[in-house]
Each structure stands twice: as structure tokens, then as C-alpha cells.
Amino acid sequence: MSKVKIAGHASGSGTLTIQAPDTSSSRTITLPDATGTLLNSDGSAASLTAIPAANITGTLPAIDGSNLTGIAGRRNMIINGDMKVSQRGTSWAAITSGVYSLDRWLFYHNLGAYTVTQDSTGADGFANSFKIDCTTADASVVADDYLLLRYTFEGQDLQCWKKGTASAESVTLSFWVKSNKTGDLAIHLFDADNTRGIGSTPTINSADTWEKKTITFAGDTTGAFNDDNAASLWLDFWFDGGSTYTGGSTPTSWEAVADSDRGAGTTLALADSTSNYLNITGVQLELGTAATEFEHRSYGEELALCQRYCTIMGGGYKGAKQNGTTVLTVTYDMPVAMRAEPTTTNNSVAAAWMDHDSYSGSTTSYTTTVSNMYGGGTVIRVNWGNFSGATDNRMALITSNAEITFDAEL
């Protein structure tokens, strides 16, 4: 028969009491058949802390969502972080600086020339990436040169950062990157409302290899983001630059922005050879200090999120109002509310129109300009101009396969 031995401790002076509960029932407590120390328990389990997550297995009890931190709801504040949406096209040879290519991503450069593509390769689990291919090298970097990729946030989407308060939140950026070059990128968060910034310089360690980079930025107790639909924050990936933007030092804590700090620390020199390329995908920015797995969303969800900033509407039959003698006004019901009154471009596919009883003309040199936006961005009125022979205040029907791009990017 096994025995129970209660032993004192030679160094201690206290008295250990085994207390019976107030009960009329007889109970048996079976001790574990193992060597170790019993866990503390104070009835509410408040003392049960630091249990390794790997040891929590089996069926969990129902837990109120308010007690689950860091995993509830949408985590990734980046739209199109996996580069799957590219409404404007898939390849831009000799891309102009400051032009949107893949949805939500803006490429700036004045150093060399580049082809940007929505590449059909990505890190494991990603079908696409943003590829920058240097087609004209420029190794002679001068002071004002820059080469960067930018994502811009609306201020109203950043209020959860609690920036400018004593309880400002940390945020964590993660992304996958691949390049033929090794060296440091410069990552910079630029608070455009308060002209403050913070940065980091992750390293590409191996050429031609997908690597995941993770950076946590501390919260900033100074300068709240404006709660509106304007640009409040730029997330910049610097790949090269002159001393105006790289001559300072990497701001490892929030500071009043110095231009020379914004790209400081980048050693990648992506512009120095036409052999150079860089792919990036899986970009995620989330609250907290941990980089969780990338939040994959369906194409439909991601497209809808992008359409707040860019929507392409196809052709067909469009009912219109004749407006003076040269303008036909069409009302568009947008798939999602646009951020602001958009710029419109058309692909110059011929457009014919007719009034109530006859064919009235066709042209490819029409213009499209937004007249008004209603319903918080869900309804947009567009003037098709450069027609002839219209009569004010009469109906018209436009027949055209022309596509109109509505662009309300930041």
C-alpha cells in the first residue's frame, strides 16, 4: 500500500494548514502520480498564469469575445496586402512616378526606370506580388533622388491606434520580400497630420529568396490622427535614395520628421543595375506587438475594399440627359461608396448616342468629368462631353463599350 508523507521544510518557519471545507459530504482528493509542484489555485483560477499555450489542448470552454485580445475581427489594416487586386492592368513599362498601378500601391522614383508588374509568383501561400524591375540603371545617386513604394491610410481608419494619447498602441508590420540584392530596406511610417515619423531597417539576407520581415513600432503619445477621409499616414518602403532622404539616421522612436531620416539606413541600391528586381507581398499591419499569420481575404472582399479608391465601370446602354448641345450626363450607381469625388478616365472606345427618335452621332474623342457625387459616394454623376447636336433637357441613350475608371485614391 502506498503512503502519504507530509514533510516540513528545514528553512521555513510558517505553519501549513490543510483546511476542510464547510461540507457534510465525504470527498477524496487523489494526488497526481508524478514528481513536481502543485499549481496554485485560488478558486477563481486567477493565479493560473503563464501556462504554455502548447499545453492548452482539448475542448476550450465558451469564452467571452471581449477576453480574446489580438485575434478578434479584422487584423490587417492594409488593403490588397497580398497584391491580388490590380484593376488598372498588370504591367507598367517605364512607369511614371507617382502613379497607382496595383490597387492601393503607389510607386515613386526619380532614379532609373522601372517596369512594375503584378507578378504571378509570391511567397509560399501567396499567388501574387508587386514586382519592381529596374530597366534603366542609375548608380549615380544625387541628393534629391528617391525610390520608394507607398501605402496611404485614411485617418478615420487609424483611430484604433489611440495615437496622441497616453495609451497609444504599438503596431506590427510584417511582409514578405525577395530580391536579387541583399542589404537593408528602410521602412518609414510618416504621420502626415502631425509630421511625425518612425522607421526601421530590416535586412534582406539572402538573394533570390523569399524572406518574411517583422517590425514592431511603438505607440506614439504625441499627435492624434485626424478622424476623416484624408491621408493621415504613409507607409513607405525605401529601396534607394539620395542624401536629402537618407543622409540622417533611422528614427527608431517617433520624432518630428526630418526628411533626411525618412529613407536613412537603406543599403539596397536597387537602382544600380538593370539586373535588379524586388518582389513584395503579404504586407500586414496590425495592432499589438505580435505579427500574426497573414489575414487572407477572398478576392471579392479585397476588390470591394479597393473599390472605395478605384472602380472601373463597364460599358453598355446608359440612359442620359442632354445637357446643352455637347454634353450627355449619366448617373452611375457605384458598387461601394467612394472615398471622395473621383477623377475619371475613359479608354476612348467609340461612344454613339441617340435621342428619343434617331441616331445622333458617335465619337471617340469624348471627355468624362464628374459633375456631382451623392449618397456619400454611392452615386456619381458624370458629364460625357465633346458630342454635338444635343438639345438641352432631352433624354439620350449612350451605346458604348467604353470603360470609365473612377479614381479616388489618396
Partner 1 sequence: MYKLVKVNENYAILRISDNAGIPRAEGNRDYQQFLQDIKDNDMSIVEGADIVSPDYVSLRRGDDGYSRIGEQLDMQYKNDGSWEAHILDVKTRHPKTNTGSTTVEVIPAWVQEEVDKLQEI
Tell me how far CA of residue 258 lies from CA of 185, 188, 263, in angstroms.
Answer: 18, 11, 10
Burial class (CB in 10 A: 0-12, 13-18, 19+), 326: middle
Nearer to partner 1, 212 or 381 (CB): 381
Distance in Å, CB of 132 to partner 1, minimum: 22
Distance in Å, CB of 236 to partner 1, minimum: 15
Nearer to partner 1, 135 or 325 (CB): 325
Q: Are 289 and 355 in contact (CB under 8 A)?
A: no
Distance in Å, CB of 391 to partner 1, minimum: 5
Distance in Å, CB of 167 to partner 1, minimum: 29
Nearer to partner 1, 220 or 355 (CB): 355
- Strand ranges for 39-170 from DSSP E: 91-92, 99-100, 105-109, 113-119, 129-136, 146-154
Nearer to partner 1, 99 or 160 (CB): 99
Q: Are 398 and 384 in contact (CB under 8 A)?
A: yes
Q: Which residues bind partner 1 (CB under 8 A)?
A: 192, 229-230, 323-327, 329, 339-346, 348, 367-373, 382-383, 385, 389-393, 407-410
Q: Are 133 and 126 in contact (CB under 8 A)?
A: no
Nearer to partner 1, 141 or 306 (CB): 306
Q: Work out whether strand 99-100 and strand 211-217 pair parallel, antiparallel, or are unpaired.
A: unpaired
From 407, 402, 362, select the one nearest 386 (Cα to Cα). Answer: 362
Q: Are 164 and 224 in contact (CB under 8 A)?
A: yes
Nearer to partner 1, 201 or 323 (CB): 323
Alpha helices in 25-81 (DSSP H): none
Q: How far is CA 125 from the centre of its chain?
A: 18
- Which cell goes with 83? 497584391
Distance in Å, CB of 375 to partner 1, minimum: 15
Distance in Å, CB of 93 to partner 1, minimum: 16
Distance in Å, CB of 367 to partner 1, minimum: 6
The Cα 66–Cα 43 span in angstroms is: 22
Distance in Å, CB of 230 to partner 1, minimum: 6
Instruction: Identify the residue whose cell numbers are 454613339.
Output: 352
Distance in Å, CB of 82 to partner 1, minimum: 24
Tell me how far CA of residue 309 lies from CA of 55, 224, 409, 410, in angstroms.
Answer: 45, 24, 5, 8
The Cα 221–Cα 164 span in angstroms is: 4
| Number of Cβ within a 10 Å radius of residue 17 | 5
Nearer to partner 1, 144 or 301 (CB): 144
CA atoms lying within 13 Å on the CB side of residue 166: 0
Nearer to partner 1, 82 or 103 (CB): 103
